[in-house]
Amino acid sequence: MKAYIDSRHEQFLNDFQTLINIDSSSDNKHGIETMARFFEIRFQSLGLNTRVLFLGEDRVPCLYAEHPKKGGPFDVMFLGHMDTVFPAGEAEKRPFSIRDNKAFGPGVCDMKGGLLVVLHSLEALKQEGILDSLSFCVAFNGDEETGSQASKEWIMETAKKSLRTFVYEPCRPGYRFVLQRKGGGSFHITVKGREAHAGADPEKGVNAVVELAHQIVRINRLNENDRGTTAQVTVVSGGDRVNIIPALAEASVDIRISTPEEKGRVEDFFNTLGAQPFFKDSTIRVRGHIDRPPMEAGEAAQRLWDLVRSTGKTLGLPMEAISTGGCSDGNYTSFSGTPTIDGMGIVGANTHRLDEYAELGSIRNMVLLTAQICRAILEP
């Protein structure tokens, strides 16, 4: 299998270039569908039951392929996303390139490289004559970067039919895999006060910016290091003229939680925020919720990690498990009760940045790792 994977390195790079040079931001349905059609052809060539789905009111393109086992669950669910955070035209400005044994381009490790790890692993298993013995499904969605609103129910239902899930977000440098992720959500605060001239009659006004400032101080107290909860006010606006007391102010808040129990505490806090204004004549409106549950490393996930780690060590990889504050669709599969290991994609870093990169030296290792894990799953 190693020799076959090595012989396919140039093909991987050609596929990499093809995908990176497709603009596929979350709002670019055409680009995402183009990605899905690429995988549809390749998975069909492996004999998989493959189709492109269009989910939700926005008809988000998603790719689904399966090789089922009659009357039983899938051995493995391979999960990834085809959308990126980069706008239209980015691929033309920053096409796929290679420097210093690293690949660059929009979405190179988050997570087009990871999607190709899945494809090339399955092709290697097919070459070895193992693939037909494995029961598995592949789910690539097109809206992960915007919260997977159209696809999350599909992802969770698919996970419930699977014994284990591997998520192909990037593996961290040094071969660090993700076993735990914080859950999260966001809230938007709108404060309405009353305009007045800042110099002539300020007593007639109700300053929405000052009201919001007091509420921000309260929100900041939600941060609980011991509980693993963070509440970060990230965007603030208010007022438009220096001599007018502002009647409107707004703020956005990013929330991350480590345990399911924190969801209730945090949402209760925001649900009651509007009833506690600093100025009696100001009004406070709160919208939002926590929509991603935490990804927890329970006993079943730890056992799955033991398999991943032991397989990686036979390949000479320095395996390490970490937790992170970032969310992924692995939060949903874990919440569905399916043991989940994340960070199974190509090794890389600087996601969502112009200097995002993927380590070309990790291609062989990550393709071989997935293929060998699948082989181990089939062993009695």
pTM of the entire predicted model: 0.90
The string of pLDDT tens digits covering residues 206-219 is 999 999 999 999 99
How confident is the model at residue 225, as a pLDDT?
84
Distances (CA, A) of 217 to 115, 168, 272, 339: 42, 38, 15, 39
Cα radius of gyration rounded to whole Å, the chain: 24
Sign of CA dihedral 24, 30, 36, 41: negative
* Distance between CA atoms of residues 264 and 293, nearest Å: 12
Domain borders along the chain are 2-182+295-378, 183-292
Residues of the chain above pLDDT 70, percent: 100
Encode burial over 280-315: b for 16+ CB neighbours within 10 A, e otherwise. eebebebeeebbbbbbbbeeebeebbeebbebbeee
CATH topology (fold) of 2-182+295-378:
Aminopeptidase (3.40.630)
Residue-level pLDDT at 74: 97
Both tokens assigned to 152: 């999350």
DSSP characters over 118-172? HHHHHHHHHHTT-GGG--EEEEEES-GGGT-TTTHHHHHHHHHTBS-EEE-SPBB
- pLDDT tens sequence across 221-235: 999 888 899 999 999
- Across the chain, what does the average pLDDT equal? 96
Contact of 250 with 233, CB cutoff 8 Å: no
Model confidence over 248-285: pLDDT tens digits?
A: 999 999 999 999 889 999 999 999 999 999 999 999 99
pLDDT average, residue stretch 102-109: 98
Reported confidence tier of residue 201, pLDDT bands at 50, 70, 90: very high
- Written as six digits, the tokens of 344 are 């199974």
Calpha distance 290→314 (Å, rounded): 40
Confidence of residue 119 (pLDDT cuts 50, 70, 90): very high
Task: For residue 380, name the pLDDT band (cuts at 50, 70, 90).
Answer: low
The answer to whether domain 2-182+295-378 and domain 183-292 are alike in fold is no
Q: Which two tokens stand for residue 340?
A: 């989940």
pLDDT of residue 16: 98
Question: Distance (Å, rounded) from C-alpha 307 to C-alpha 377?
Answer: 9
Three-state DSSP state, 194: strand
Contact 364, 188 (CB under 8 A): no
Confidence band, pLDDT 50/70/90 cuts, at residue 36: very high
Was domain 183-292 assigned CATH 3.90.1150.10? no
Confidence bin at 80 (pLDDT 50/70/90): very high
List the helix and strand counts (H, then E) for the chain.
11, 18
The 10 Å Cβ neighbour count of residue 22 is 20
Residue 138 vs residues 47, 108, 120, 145, 161: alpha-carbon distances, Å: 13, 20, 13, 18, 12
- Reported as a single tens digit per residue, the pLDDT across 86-98 is 999 999 999 999 9
Inter-residue contact 373 to 307 (CB < 8 Å): yes
Average pLDDT over residues 224-247: 94
